[in-house]
Structures are given as C-alpha cells and as structure tokens.
Amino acid sequence: MGEALKSQSSRTMSLLSQLEKINLGSVLGEADNARYVTSKILHLVQSQEKTRKEMTSKGSTGIEVILSTLENTKDPQTMLNILNILIEVISVGGGRKANILVAKGGTQILLQLLLTASKDSPPNEELMVLLHTLLAKIGPKDKKIGMKARINGALNISLNLVKQNLQNHRLILPCLQVLRVYSTSSVNAVSLGKNGVVELMFKIIGPFSKKNTSLMKVALDTLAALLKSKTNARRAVDRGYVQVLLTIYVDWHRHDSRHRYMLIRKGVLQCIKSVTNIKLGRKAFIDANGMKILYNTSQECLAVRTLDPLVNTSSLIMRKCFPKNRLPLPTIKSAFHFQLPVIPASGPVAQLYNLPPDVDDVVDESDDNDDAETESEIETENDDKDQHFKNDDIETDINKLKPRQELGRPLEELKMYERFFPELSEKFQECDLVSKEPKPFIPDANLSGPIVVPTAGEEYSAETKQSTKGVALKESNPVLTEEYNRRPAFLELPKKDSVKDSSLHQQNDQRNLSPSCQCLNQEIVKGLDRMSLQTSAKNDQYYSTACVITKESKTSLTTLACSNPCEHVSPCGSSLFEGSSVHLGKLCCTGVDSEEEDSRSSSSGEQVMLEVSDVSPVHDCDLYIEMVKTTKSIPEYSEVAYPDYFGHIPPPFKEPILERLYGVQRTKISQDIERLIHQNDIIDRVVYDLDNLSCLVPEEADVLKFNSKFESGNLRKVIQIRKNEYDLILNSDINSNHYHQWFYFEVSGMKTGIGYRFNIINCEKSNSQFNYGMQPLMYSVQEALNSRPCWTRVGTDICYYKNHFSRSSIAAGGQKGKSYYTITFTVTFQHKDDVCYFAYHYPYTYSTLKMHLQKLESMHNPQQIYFRQDVLCETLAGNSCPLVTITAMPESNYYEHICQFRNRPYVFLSARVHPGETNASWVMKGTLEYLMSNNPSAQCLRESYIFKIIPMLNPDGVINGNHRCSLSGEDLNRQWQNPNPDLHPTIYHAKGLLQYLAAIKRLPLVYCDYHGHSRKKNVFMYGCSIKETMWHTNVNAAACDLMEDPCYRVLPKILSQTAPAFCMGSCSFVVEKSKESTARVVVWREIGVQRSYTMESTLCGCDQGKYKGLQIGTRELEEMGAKFCVGLLRLKRMSSPLEYSLPSSLLDIENELMESSCKVTSPTTYVLDEDEPRFLEEVDYSAESNDDQDTELADNVGDYEATNQEDGLSDSDSARILLS
C-alpha cells in the first residue's frame, strides 16, 4: 500500500513537471500534451485526497504550474480540465486553499480568462459555468475582487450572461453567486444597479414557485447585498418592490407549512431589511402594511423554535421601521433649574444656556437627512477590516505620560489648606491619651495575628447570633467586649449640632418634612395623619413615642415598648436600630397585613416581640431627620423616603444573578409594536408629571400612584399605557439635557397577584447589566414594618433595548438619528396597597452620609482614635462637603510619640463623584466603619497611616437625583485638570489638599477614588503606568528602554488575594486621552502619587470567586471597603524594608501581562467594552454597541477565598499566597 501511495505521489509530481515543461515551450505538440497531462492530473485529484493536499502543500509549486498553464493555453479542453482541478482542490480544505489561490494571483487570471471567453460568440457555456463557480468560491477570500473586476471590465459580463440566459438555471446560478460577491462593494452595487440588476433579480424571484429553490435562494442573497446600496434601495422603492417583497414573503409563509424553505423566507426578510435602511424604504414598508404583516407572521412562527431566525429578523425590521416618536416632554432639560454663578465659555452647558428660548430641543430629527444626501458610497475595499482593534484613545506621547509634579497654584495660596491638617502641628497637651490608662491592647502584639474583617459571606442567624455593631469583635478580648457593652444605648447629639438646629428652627417650621407616601390607600393609613417632621409642639404628640430597647443576648430579640397615645395605632416593628429612639407617626405604626391583624394588632402600649437578625450601628432614624433638615435641595424637597428613614439591613438570603429568559427582548419589542397596530388598546394617560403641577393624583383603585419628590429621587413623568403597564421618564441631570440612568421612586396603590410592567424609556447607554442578570431593587414599607427593612432584587422579564423614541441632536452631542433605550421589568407585589420604592442601585443619600459620620464620631473612643470632621467647602447649593481625618491617637504626648504620629504616611480616599454610583458610598461606608472599629488590625492600620477621606465629592448631585453631574451640569471627574473654584468647588479644594501635601513633601502613599461600573462585573481597579500604556500601542521601542517602579500593581494584587469580589483580570493600568482630566490620572501625573487608583465596583454581581453567580449587595460592598483597608495594612507590612523584603517575582509585570489578556476600556463614557458573551437570541441590542463576544479576561490570580484562617497567617505565609 505504501509503495502504491509513493508511486501515486511521484506520478503527480511527474505530471506537474511535464506540464511545467510544456509551459516553457520545450515540448512539441503542446496543446495535445497539455490536454492529456491535465486530464491525468484531474483524474488523480478527483480520486485521491492525497493529491489534492500535495498540490497546496507548503513548498509545492503545483498551483503556480496549473495557473501558469491556464494563463497561457488556448485549448478549451485544457482550460476546462484546469478549472475542474482548481475546483476540486479548493472544495476540500475550504478557506485556506482558496486563500492560496488568491495569493498566487488566481483572481486576476480567472477574470482575464472570463473577459477573453466572453468575446466568443456564443460563449462556451461549460467554460462560463466553471469560471463563475470558481470565482464564487474564491471571491469572498479576495477583498479586492470587486475593484479588480471593475478595472478589468469583467463586471457586466456576468450580468449580461444572466440577462441572456434566464431559463438556463445551470449557467445563471454561479453567475448570481459572483454578482453577490461583486455587490459587497457599494461602488459595484451602484454600477450594476444602473445596468438593471435590481429589476433582473425581481424577474428571477418573481411569483411564488417551489421550482428551482436553490436559484431562488441565491437570487435573494444577491438582491439583499445589492439593496444595501442606498441608490439601489431607492430604485426598488420607486418601482414598488417593497410591496412585492412583502407579498412574496406572505406567499412563502402560507405555502411552506412544513418549514422546509426557511432559508428562502429569511432571504426575503434580508431584502426587506436592506431596503428599509433608508427612510423611503421604511415609509413604503409602513404604507404597505408591513408592520401588521410581519407582526402576524412572526407571531405564527413563535411556536416553532427552528423559525426563530425569521422571528428575530422580523423583530429587527419592525423595530427599525417603527415610526420614531419624540419623548412626551416639553423640554429635555431638567424639570428643575439652578442658575449658575458663572457660565462656562464653551461646552455642553454653555450651549444649553445659549439656546434660544423658543427652540424645540425634543424634536425628532432621526431621518432628516436620510435621503437628501447625494450618493456617497465610495470604494471601501481595503484591508482595514483585517486590522486588529486599535484604541486611538490610548495616550502615545511619552512626554505627556511622564508624571510632571507641579503645584499649579502659588505656595502662599496653598497655605489656606494648612487648617485641614492640624494633626501635623497638634501637641496633644490637653488630651487624655491612652498611655495614662491601662491599654486595651498592645498595638504591635498582633502584627502577624488574625485580621478580623466583617465578612459578607457569613450567614445571619437570628437565634444564635447576638446583635452586634456590624464590626467584628473578638470574644477572646474581654477589655474590648466590656468597652462595647458600656456604650450607652442612646447617644446624645453634640451640642454644636443642637445649636445649629435651633438656629434653623424657624426655617424648618415652614418646611413640612414628611415621608413620601403621597398616595397611600386608606387601608394602610386608616384615616391617620401623615408623619410630620416639624418641630412644632402641635405635631410632637404624633411621634413622641417612647421606644425602649432591651437586648436578650441568647435570643437576639428586641423588645419594643411603644407607648403611643394615638387611637387606631397598632404597635410597629420600626425600632430596628441600636441606639435610636425612633419617632414614627401613625402611618408607620400601622403595619401588618390584614390577614395578620388578629394575631399582631393590640392596644397601645402592648409590647411586641420583633425578630432582628442584624442591626446597623450607624443608623438612627431621629438623627436622619435632623440631618435632612439641613440638606438643601433645588426642588426644596419636603418629604423623606421611608427606606432612608428606616434604614437597610442586608437580606439573609443570597440573590443569584438572574438567568435571562430566551426571547425576552423580542417579546418586549413585539408588545411595543402592538401599541402601533392596536392603538385603541392604549390608555396613554399621564399619572405623574413634574412639568405639570396641576397633574392630579389618580383616584381609581386600580391605578398605581407614583412619587419621587424626596432626596435622590428621580422620576419626571409616568404614563399609563395599558391597565398594568406604565412608561416612566427620568429627569435629566440639572443644567444638562441627558444622563438618564439613575432612578429612585415610590409606587403605591398596588394589588397582589398582578404583574405590573414598568418601562423606563429614556435611558442613554447602549447596553446595560440589566441584559446580563442584574435586577432593580425594591423596598417594601410593609416588609419594613414586619421587621424586614431591606432592599431586595426583584423583577422578571428584565430587558434593556433600543426603543422608538429619538434623541434630538441637541441631546446627543450633535449626532442625529440616535435613539433612547428602555429598561423594562415586571414586578408582582406581595402586599396589597403597600408602599414600595424602586431604585437603580442601593440608595445612599447625602443625609445618610451626614448621619453616619455623626454616629461614628459619637461612638468612637477618643483615647484610641483621632477622628476629625471638617467642612472642606460649600457646594453650589450651599451644602457642606465633609472631610474626615482618621488615625490613631499618639501613645503619649512625649516627643517620640508625637513625631511618630506626625510622620505617618497619608492615604487619601474619595468617593461618589458620580451620584448614580451609589455602590461607591457603600464601599466607603465599609472603609469608614472598619477604620473606626475596635478591631486590633484596624488599630494597627490607624497607627500606620493618616487617612484623609472625602466620602462624597458631589453632594448636590446626590441630593437632587442626578446620575452623573453636579449642579454645573458637568461630570466632575473630568474637571481635575483645571477645576473652576466657582463651578467645581469640591474638586478645586480636593485637588488643593493634595497640592498642599505635595508642597510640604508629604505625598500620599495611596490615592483611591471609589466608583461604580454599570457594564462590568466584579470589583477592579484602574491605575496608571507609562510602560503598560506603551505596550498597548505600537511605540514598543520607547517602552523597552523605560524604567518604571511597578509598585502600582502591588495593592490590586493584594486585593485580588484577600477580597472575594475583587478581580485582577479586569484591572487596567493604561492611561487614555479621554481620562486625562480624571482624578486618577491628574493625581498621578500632576501630584506625583504613583499608587493612584480608581476602584470600580460592579452594580450587578460577580462572575468569579466566592460570589460567582451572585448579585452584589451592601454586605459585599461594605466588605470590599473593609478589605481595602486590610490590603493597605498588608501593603504597609510588605513595603517596610525592616519587616519584609518583597520578592521581585510579585512585581514581574512583564510576565503577568503576557499571561493575561488585560483589556483596555474604550475611550468614551457611553460605549464601553462589554465583558459578556452574546446571547443565543440574535438581537441587535443597538446600532452603536459592539455585540461580539469578547475574549475572556484571564484572571491569573486564581480563586483564592479569604477566610478567618487566612487572616491569621503570618506575613511570610501571606506572601507565599500572593505569589502562588
């Protein structure tokens, strides 16, 4: 057998050698010999796969010899033999073999032969069939084939052959395939269109017939490619072909009952899809009743899963042709106005202020210039598509990348910030320092001992776990435990606050602060007045309940004695928080479901046992109200949202990432299309409207009531569409006309057992984690009254998709044709006539922050902790921006101890520059509570660093329900390069603090700005590296010679090992041009802080580690804040040369980069790289977003879970874990 194969191989080579000699003209009788040799080769190729492989194997000249013969021969039979040989060779092995043929110049030879053969009269039919068959096979692999055919003059040969041989299906089939290949070039498509190709295609696809279906399929594919040209599409519309296509589709739909011709049906839809890319096509489609036709046919296809491609394509066409609507608003500018002290000279805010008052900024311009332009289809046949993704946003100028430490302001001017650093001059003469009393613990004793962190993974048990402060206290430390138990249950407010409150007494009397259940049903209210937050004596009787809390450590039950003098008041489960005397009005004291009333309701004063699984040490209902009174909002809110008043306790159950239902998006789109088809079914009733103050609250029992007139609320208008379906419109950021994403609103008046659909219809991002398992959050007042005050993930049929509401160019930065997006979700309520709140993410208001800081200050041990709260500056609205300083008190006022205190390195933290990223505040809460805890490692951390923290950089944005901007209408995280003290005071002064530290040579060791990320999972960091930035560009030579300290990678690496939610694989250290004015880049480049980070926390959940497959909650976010602190402690130990020598392998970033595919985020705020795979459901989420599957981000760190055991490891063990 081996001998036979060997002889076969040598036979092939011998024949090719003979053929080569014939080409060189060294053999007599060339034509006959060539015919004979090629027929032998053809026989071998047809019978032996080995021969086919040999012809295209590496180093073989077989293809060159064959092509050379084809080019030179005049013998028709030899040509036919060679064409058959080539067809055989490339038919096995697919694209690679075709590429070889293209690379050897095969396309030009075939086109030239086609041109020559066409001059024969009549042309050789067999030759034409084979030539076109071969061109159709190699054409898709030659991106230049369209241009080559046009230059060669071969373009119309195939078209004329089809015209002259309409009945010869064997000939025109490959000709149509070649025309389809040519038509990928828009220039060719236009040229062919002028020669009547569109009309010709409609002759072929003509009336319905099941004969020659293969020809029909190819003709439809060719027509779909041709109609992508606007010129050809207009030609088709002008000749009434849209109606013809719809008729053909309906015919095939009716006659193809066994679904054998799905490809033909899809081909017709692809033609409709192409022709409706132009405005005239869409209008013709609507006029021909296309919406109803495709809607009805697709509904009939839903039952058969194999017909999904037809349903999906129909859905895309209908969504595209759905007439664009303007948002039902008088203006897209915010419903609230704030006059700026200074108008920027340029930019979107300047444009907003310069708009003439009569300009309609909501106008739909989506199709204005769609067909008016001249044909601008130019040659695009180049290799650009083959080029790898290149991010032009990456900074390539090495001079701009190199940090250039510069103060930016005169030293004299920076001295104004000296007052924010009293710790650098404090002598502590008057202080009662730790050394004068027995120490609760030895600071350095537990240096390598356990690091106890509040862990999100712990399950909560009401029966076995004693209510704690939320920070882990070691049972083995009696001093700490005793100190905690001594803490009074009721904490007095500092006197300075009460003075401040009294000065505002008169003002607050006029601000009728009340909870925001504007529209409660009588069953819950029972005719009682609403809770008032006025300080007048008249209302005191309604909320001066004396709530006494006693702890029973074994059962963890809180006994509440509620002595309320009001009638009809059942005791409430609202005193859930340690250290708070909760003053609730009658509404809050009603409270249980009607079916539970018999067992739960009792006369006033009866004790009710409430089961509490966890308490928050820093939530105080009364204190929250006091904080609200001093919060200044632009709408002058007079109501308080119940979730902010009651507080939030993380639910004791896990909340998995929601599995997406198949076909959910097309179902929602078809329901939207029903609005157009069945317009009489649409109610279209406005039930809430900020722009129309006379809008009445619906009185009907079956209509939901809405409200968002409270801090951080954002809801502008609600329209009832169907009985249980509502369209919601969000308010723009103040002094802006866009940034709609954050929502927080109240709903009441619901019934149980009914699915209510909510559509938020003016979102702007092109994709969202709502498409990847994220759910919105809901807070039930009824549940809170039943001792379950928590935000929970809810909603089914969740989807995020482009809708038919168009964004005006004014709102889209000058771009026309942009659409808004819809978040849709369906909720079935548990309780009748409940009051529920919905939010984009866990709300965290400015008043909540003030309350938390106040509680932390009142609860801390001043002997151990140096805690100081300053007002950095006032915001545009007159709210204070808190600045917090935390460190350990010096051991004594001896010189050595004071020196050690003053010389601690600084860590500078900030958060919440973007109001909609509430998760950043929860992470910051975790950081603050950990730093203030009695935990030995927290004390060690305080002794290691001085923390300067700005927990909320954008109070005004948070208060007024903005998503991204401050009152200046600008993204404050794009103002760090040149902040304006009048427009961006918090950024100006935050940068001033850092500039002052740089001026006195006290650069922070770490700067970190906490953010939230709406498109990616996990928690991760962005840092700054010149070398890594250069690696992502073509400027590799400069990067090779660059020396850079890789210390910026250490902290993220530590966090990836200790924080379960953190993912090193998602981190990036690339500097982009569009991010040059962000805090991270400016602090790195101008201030000179090498470890300058943005820490991004997901809004959705995790896809790795301990929390894989779970949505993130406040417990996990707070844990991340605590783990960040632990990471800083590890960083301190590892970077201290006396304590630890850092192995170089940890910082071998070159190797790590090669192992991981760390991706760079794209330049813009709105179009970001997705980290999700495509869905099986083929749905075009948006024209703007790239839906392709991304390469997986490699997390080369592994899935190491932090545990208590790990926390107890020694430093050397920790290092081994880091390096493993």
Cα(992)–Cα(985) distance, rounded to whole angstroms?
A: 10
Looking at the DSSP bridge assignments, the partners of residue 717 are: 689, 729
| Region for residue 847 given its phi and psi (left: phi exceeds 0; alpha: psi -120 to 50; beta: otherwise) | alpha
Question: Percentage of residues in the chain with pLDDT exceeding 70?
Answer: 72
Element (H, E) at 370: none
Structure tokens at 421: 């650093």
Q: Phi and psi dihedrals of 891, rounded to 5?
A: -65, -35
- Comparing 539-548, 673-682, 972-981, the range with the smallest average pLDDT is 539-548
1139 is catalytic: no
- Residue appearing with tokens 């090193």: 1064
Taking alpha carbons only, the member of 305, 239, 229, 301 closest to residue 265 is: 301
Average pLDDT over residues 189-205: 90
Cα(1123)–Cα(596) distance, rounded to whole angstroms?
A: 42
Average pLDDT over residues 181-202: 90
Cα(453)–Cα(439) distance, rounded to whole angstroms?
A: 22
| Region for residue 298 given its phi and psi (left: phi exceeds 0; alpha: psi -120 to 50; beta: otherwise) | alpha
Q: If you write DSSP's letter for every residue of 827-852 in order, what string do you get?
A: EE-SSTT-EEEEESS----HHHHHHH
pLDDT given at position 59: 61
Q: Could you tell me the pLDDT band of residue 1043, with boundaries at 50, 70 and 90?
A: confident
Average pLDDT over residues 660-668: 90
Cα(1199)–Cα(851) distance, rounded to whole angstroms?
A: 37
User: How open is the CA angle 648-652-658, to the nearest 5 degrees?
Assistant: 95
Which is it for strands 819-828 and 906-911: parallel, antiparallel or unpaired? unpaired
**Cβ neighbours of residue 3 closer than 8 Å, sequence gap 6 or more:** none
Q: How far is CA 595 from CA 599, 601, 749, 785, 831, in A?
A: 9, 11, 18, 15, 11
Structure tokens at 712: 């951080």
pLDDT for residue 690 is more than 60: yes
Largest CA distance in the chain: 123
Q: Could you tell me the pLDDT band of residue 1031, with boundaries at 50, 70 and 90?
A: confident
Q: How far is CA 1169 from CA 958, 1076, 1173, in A?
A: 27, 19, 11
Tell me which of 1028, 1096, 1118, 1152 is the catalytic residue.
1096
Structure tokens at 853: 């800081």
Average pLDDT over residues 752-764: 96
Q: Could you tell me the pLDDT band of residue 396, with boundaries at 50, 70 and 90?
A: low
Q: Could you tell me the pLDDT band of residue 939, with boundaries at 50, 70 and 90?
A: very high
Average pLDDT over residues 460-464: 36
pLDDT given at position 1191: 31
The CA R_g of the chain, rounded to the nearest whole Å, is 36
pLDDT given at position 317: 94
User: What is the identity of the amino acid at 260?
Assistant: R
pLDDT given at position 434: 58
**Cβ neighbours of residue 440 closer than 8 Å, sequence gap 6 or more:** 477, 479, 480, 483, 864, 934
Looking at the DSSP bridge assignments, the partners of residue 558 are: 551, 610
Cα(761)–Cα(749) distance, rounded to whole angstroms?
A: 22
Q: How far is CA 802 from CA 316, 388, 759, 1190, in A?
A: 11, 28, 12, 21
Around Cβ 1186, how many Cβ atoms within 10 Å?
A: 16
pLDDT in tens, 581-639: 333 332 333 333 333 333 333 333 333 222 333 446 678 999 999 999 999 999 999 99
Average pLDDT over residues 217-231: 93
Structure tokens at 333: 């500018």
pLDDT in tens, 1112-1156: 999 999 999 999 999 999 998 887 654 444 444 444 443 443 334
Compare 747 and 46 and report the one with higher pLDDT: 747
Query: Any idea of the CA torsion for 912, 646, 695, 669, to the nearest 10 degrees?
Result: 60
DSSP state of 1085: I
Q: Is the pTM of this model over 0.85?
A: no
Structure tokens at 567: 């009638």
Render the burial of 886-924: b for 16+ CB within 10 Å, e for the rest: bbbbbbebeeebbeebbebebbbbbbbbbbbbbbbbbbb
Taking alpha carbons only, the member of 925, 920, 715 closest to residue 838 is: 715
**Cβ neighbours of residue 144 closer than 8 Å, sequence gap 6 or more:** 107, 381
Render the burial of 1032-1051: b for 16+ CB within 10 Å, e for the rest: bbeeeeebeeeeeebebbbb
Say if residues 932 and 886 touch (Cβ distance below 8 Å). yes
Q: How far is CA 335 from CA 111, 332, 364, 639, 691, in A?
A: 65, 8, 20, 18, 6
Say if residues 901 and 865 touch (Cβ distance below 8 Å). no
Say if residues 528 and 590 touch (Cβ distance below 8 Å). yes
- Helix runs in 886-1035, H state only: 895-902, 918-931, 936-944, 955-959, 985-999, 1026-1031
Compare 1207 and 1092 and report the one with higher pLDDT: 1092
pLDDT given at position 156: 83
pLDDT mean across residues, the chain: 77
Q: How many CA atoms lie within 13 A of 377 on its CB side?
A: 19
Compare 501 and 884 and report the one with higher pLDDT: 884
Say if residues 799 and 824 touch (Cβ distance below 8 Å). yes
Say if residues 362 and 738 touch (Cβ distance below 8 Å). no
User: How open is the CA angle 971-975-979, to the nearest 5 degrees?
Assistant: 130
pLDDT given at position 365: 58
Q: If you write DSSP's letter for every residue of 224-293 in order, what string do you get?
A: HHHTTSHHHHHHHHHTTHHHHHHHHHHHHHHH-TT---HHHHHHHHHHHHHHTTSHHHHHHHHHTTHHHH
Question: Percentage of residues in the chain with pLDDT exceeding 90?
Answer: 47
Around Cβ 1149, how many Cβ atoms within 10 Å?
A: 18
Say if residues 158 and 201 touch (Cβ distance below 8 Å). no
Which is it for strands 725-729 and 755-763: parallel, antiparallel or unpaired? parallel
Taking alpha carbons only, the member of 95, 115, 175, 102 closest to residue 145 is: 102
Taking alpha carbons only, the member of 203, 120, 121 closest to residue 159 is: 203
- Comparing 60-74, 260-274, 339-353, 563-577, the range with the smallest average pLDDT is 563-577
User: What is the identity of the amino acid at 857?
Assistant: E
Element (H, E) at 884: strand 880-888
